[in-house]
Structure 1
Amino acid sequence: MAGTIPKKRTRELILELSVPFFAKHGYNGVSMRDIAAAAGLTPAALYYHFPDKEQLYINVVAHEFSGKAVALTIALNSPETAWEWLKKFIETLANLATTDEYFLPLMQRVRLDSNAARQHKLAEYVFKDIFIAVHNLVSELNLRDDAHMLSMSIFGLIFFPLEMGAIRMSMPGYRPEQTDPTVLARHVVDFLHTGIKGIAGEKS
């Protein structure tokens, strides 16, 4: 029928429109009716594309993360030393977290979601490949310590200062340039470099 939006495009439109809803309100604060209204669809039409809210949510997080995953994978596969790979990855992630309006808020909502089964699905479907890549890189840099914990620490060192927002700005020693993703990335890399080398040196 003339003027009908292709099914694939309708699905992409739903995902794009859903990102700010879930980023601002979290899983429990969004209804399928809200998304349907934003997309100009009936609830029945929305359910045609996504069988339930959880499946929509998982696809929304994957949609928001997919483009970032490409950039992060490229950073992790540059023909450099392991430390250069790690530096590029951290710079890329910090830049993405500060330049995309909804990426960091959505990741905060994901982190605070108390539904373990849903988090497991997100881990498997969305985040696992990138985490494995970081885990493998960290293992190459430091064979003596817990690569899982070191990998989680890397993500925490990047996201936590950004999540603190205005609170951090009110703390002693704050300077505006510290919110620059390049400055943040350099701090994280320097901290990890000193820490990992120091720990490895103590145990060697």
Structure 2
Amino acid sequence: MIVISAASCEPNTREDILRQAIALFASAGYSGVSMRDVAALVGISAAALYHHFPDKQALYLAAMTRAFESASASMRAVLESDSPAIGRLQDFIERFTGLVAGDEHLRLLVQRELLDGDDTRLALLAEQVFRELHDAVVALARELDTDLDPYMLANSIIGLVLFSFQSAPLRRHLAAGRARHEQPRTIARHIVTLLTRACGSRSAD
């Protein structure tokens, strides 16, 4: 077991905890991870872990926040730019697709929480982790030239990207699938074309 000296490594301990917790929660889900599991992986005692986080839920919320904060900031920057709405939609889809494709932990955290999360924890995650980004997508949807409901359109935008990757293990066994269908660029292009046509524009052609 790695022994971490409080005197020399204290400033990095919280970051180490969050990094390892993200990986564990992505792999095993909330119910499959104990505080002792995290402490053992980091190389600290359970008591030291509780010094940083009072319970597993607090650790989980902090890990989810850390996993999404840089991605969320990057996507909000696109959504809140001065570009025309249809251009921001295209840029957001391309950015979101790239982030989801490149971060397996992020994909698995979302997937596991949607499947396994209890209502109390989901409410906390919605408020503390996802609301700001989701509100920005809804705001963009309101600007688009369409009579579609902005809330439902925002959910469709997000869902199209997430499901494209979450369903990949199954799609690979379907007869019509091709290797190019798994490429993030191909996925983003398809979603952009689909949505821009739905919003009255053929600018992605």
Same fold (TM over 0.5): yes
Distance in structure 1 (CA, Å) of the matches to 2:144 and 2:72: 22
Residue 9 of structure 2 corresponds to 5
- Runs of 4+ with >3 A deviation: none
SS in structure 2 at match of 1:174? coil
**Kindly tell me: are residues 129 and 34 of structure 1, through their superposed partners in 2, closer, same or farther at Cα, counting changes over 3 Å?**
same
**Kindly tell me: are residues 170 and 2 of structure 1, through their superposed partners in 2, closer, same or farther at Cα, counting changes over 3 Å?**
closer
Residue 57 of structure 2 corresponds to 54
Of 114, 135, 139, the match for 2:138: 135
Aligned pair 1:189/2:192, yes or no? Answer: yes
SS in structure 1 at match of 2:199? helix
SS in structure 1 at match of 2:70? helix
Residue 144 of structure 1 corresponds to 147
Distance in structure 2 (CA, Å) of the matches to 1:65 and 1:36: 22
Moved more, 131-140 or 188-197: 188-197
Aligned pair 1:171/2:174, yes or no? Answer: yes
Q: CA deviation at 1:57?
A: 0.6
Q: CA deviation at 1:142?
A: 4.3
Q: CA deviation at 1:42?
A: 1.0
**Kindly tell me: are residues 45 and 123 of structure 1, through their superposed partners in 2, closer, same or farther at Cα, counting changes over 3 Å?**
same
Residue 28 of structure 1 corresponds to 31
Residue 38 of structure 1 corresponds to 41
Please give the root-mean-square deviation of Cα atoms over the aligned residues, in Å. 1.7
Residue 21 of structure 2 corresponds to 18
Q: CA deviation at 1:159?
A: 0.8
Residue 202 of structure 1 corresponds to none
Distance in structure 2 (CA, Å) of the matches to 1:127 and 1:172: 36
- CA deviation digits over 1:176-202, x for unaligned, max 9? 11212121111111111222329xxxx
SS in structure 2 at match of 1:4? helix
Q: CA deviation at 1:166?
A: 2.3
Q: CA deviation at 1:40?
A: 1.1
Q: Is the 8 A contact 2:146 2:199 kept in 1?
A: no
Q: Which AA in structure 2 matches 1:107? A: V
Q: Is the 8 A contact 1:62 1:126 kept in 2?
A: yes
SS in structure 1 at match of 2:156? helix
- CA deviation digits over 1:131-161, x for unaligned, max 9? 0110000011046332111111111100112
TM-score (norm 2): 0.90
Count residues with an aligned counterpart: 197
Distance in structure 2 (CA, Å) of the matches to 1:34 and 1:157: 34
TM-score (norm 1): 0.90
